[in-house]
Amino acid sequence: MVGAPKVGTVQEDAAAGTSAVPYPANILVNDLLVLACSCNSLSLYTLPTGFTSVATHSLAADTALPDLFLAIKFAVGGESGTLTVTHPTAIAWSQ
């Protein structure tokens, strides 16, 4: 049986740097955590520990359109606080 999804936060950071992404509440063992980020460059993302990149989309010829990456992690249970994503330009993210 699959439980109801737990939705985290959607946020936009206006500059390059590091973003603190909060975990959703009440994470259980083997919950699938999905991290989605959009930025104008895929080249310098640093994923949080334990996350695996599963999809990227880049329009390298058009820097006005955002690139996208998705990363996943199966929870060990009880994850809380924030995780860190490092990015080269402004970013929008969701978990």
1-57 confidence digits (pLDDT tens): 556 666 666 666 656 677 788 888 888 899 998 888 777 665 556 778 888 888 877
Give per-residue burial for 53-72: e unless 16+ CB within 10 Å, then b: eeeeeeeeeeeeebbbbebe
